[in-house]
């Protein structure tokens, strides 16, 4: 599972304040902790600061990479902010995300074309949010084919089928899960990724629902996740579910995690 650490997001109070106050040490603590806990990418999101988003997103990338030797996932709907952050990023980042929304698609595709960047392809269009498997597959098809035609390699694409809240519609859980399965079958070598926490929006015991939903998604092939890597139960669930799904030869990862005390 490719882990994208979600905690550096300006919509979280402490992070929003640290960005505004340019408190590098506070950001670096959260970045370092997530990296140590196993994050492969550190997501950076300054989306609440509309006018200053390009400036703040670049500052976040630089601040994170002063202490973490690893890539960021540059999380913004704004191509201008993404471009600014790319200008200072060291190594190969992940772009979070391109979608089928026309302005976003048209502005981001030339930035991605022919590069080796990783990209999340979010199943969203100008017609709004997808609800069914078919809605998601239609958008995924157009996004993936567009990226392939622009010489983005299939193994660098992470399709995000878009998690919608269970409290809104009884079908939203399985429509997402079945979309993961079909996308993984349809495009050989592709990845899927998502932010899980929307599933539990409006309900109590959210971590419990998120952890359970993660296990369900792993059985259908989900292999990327925007999560809190400091959530020990979530991380233990991921390890156990991947082992049980046959993705862990000789149960080596499971045994290693056990010996490291990850299940205590």
Give the interface with ligand THG as residue ranges (CB under 6 A): 6, 9, 12, 45, 75, 96-97, 120, 122, 160, 163, 194-195, 197-198, 207, 226, 228, 231
Closer residue to ligand THG in complex, CB, 122/240: 122
Closer residue to ligand THG in complex, CB, 121/240: 121
Q: Which residue is nearest to ligand THG (CB)?
A: 195
For residue 251, the minimal CB distance to ligand THG (Å) is 27
For residue 122, the minimal CB distance to ligand THG (Å) is 5
For residue 162, the minimal CB distance to ligand THG (Å) is 7
Closer residue to ligand THG in complex, CB, 77/221: 77
Annotate 187-224 with DSSP letters as a single string.
Answer: STT-EE--B-GGGGTTSSSHHHHHHHHHHHHHHTT--E
For residue 227, the minimal CB distance to ligand THG (Å) is 8
| Helix or strand holding residue 3 (H, E) | strand 2-5
For residue 142, the minimal CB distance to ligand THG (Å) is 17
Taking residue 244's Cβ as centre, other Cβ atoms within 10 Å add up to 14
What is the C-alpha separation between 30 and 26, in angstroms, rounded?
7
For residue 193, the minimal CB distance to ligand THG (Å) is 7
**Closest residue by Cα to residue 163 from 155, 154, 172, 171:** 172
- For residue 45, give the DSSP letter: B
Closer residue to ligand THG in complex, CB, 46/248: 46
| Helix or strand holding residue 105 (H, E) | helix 102-112
Q: Are strands 94-99 and 72-75 parallel, antiparallel or unpaired?
A: parallel
Please, are residues 176 and 219 in contact by the beta-carbon 8 Å criterion? no
What is the C-alpha separation between 152 and 113, in angstroms, rounded?
6
Closer residue to ligand THG in complex, CB, 205/252: 205
Could you tell me the two tokens for 106? 């048209």
Closer residue to ligand THG in complex, CB, 81/163: 163
């Amino acid at each position: 599972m490719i882990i994208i650490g979600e905690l550096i997001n300006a919509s979280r109070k402490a992070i929003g304040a640290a960005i505004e106050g340019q408190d590098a040490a506070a950001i670096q603590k959260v970045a370092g902790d997530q990296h140590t806990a196993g994050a492969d990418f550190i997501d950076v999101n300054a989306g609440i600061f509309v006018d200053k988003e390009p400036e703040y997103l670049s500052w976040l990338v630089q601040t994170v990479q002063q202490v973490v030797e690893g890539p960021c996932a540059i999380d913004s709907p704004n191509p201008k902010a993404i471009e600014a952050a790319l200008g200072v990023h060291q190594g190969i980042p992940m772009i979070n995300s391109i979608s089928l929304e026309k302005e976003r698609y048209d502005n981001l595709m030339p930035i991605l074309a022919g590069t080796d960047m990783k990209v999340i392809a979010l199943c969203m269009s100008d017609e709004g949010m997808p609800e069914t498997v078919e809605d998601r597959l239609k958008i995924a098809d157009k996004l993936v084919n567009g990226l392939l035609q622009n010489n983005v390699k299939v193994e660098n694409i992470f399709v995000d089928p878009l998690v919608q809240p269970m409290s809104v519609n009884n079908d939203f859980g399985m429509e997402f899960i079945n979309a993961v399965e079909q996308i993984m079958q349809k495009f050989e070598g592709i990845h899927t990724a998502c932010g899980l926490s929307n599933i539990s929006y409006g309900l109590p015991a959210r971590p419990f629902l998120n952890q359970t939903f993660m296990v369900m998604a792993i059985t259908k092939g989900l292999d990327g996740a925007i999560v809190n890597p400091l959530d020990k139960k979530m991380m233990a669930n991921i390890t156990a579910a991947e082992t049980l799904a046959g993705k862990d030869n000789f149960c080596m990862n499971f045994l290693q995690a056990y010996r490291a005390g990850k299940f205590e």
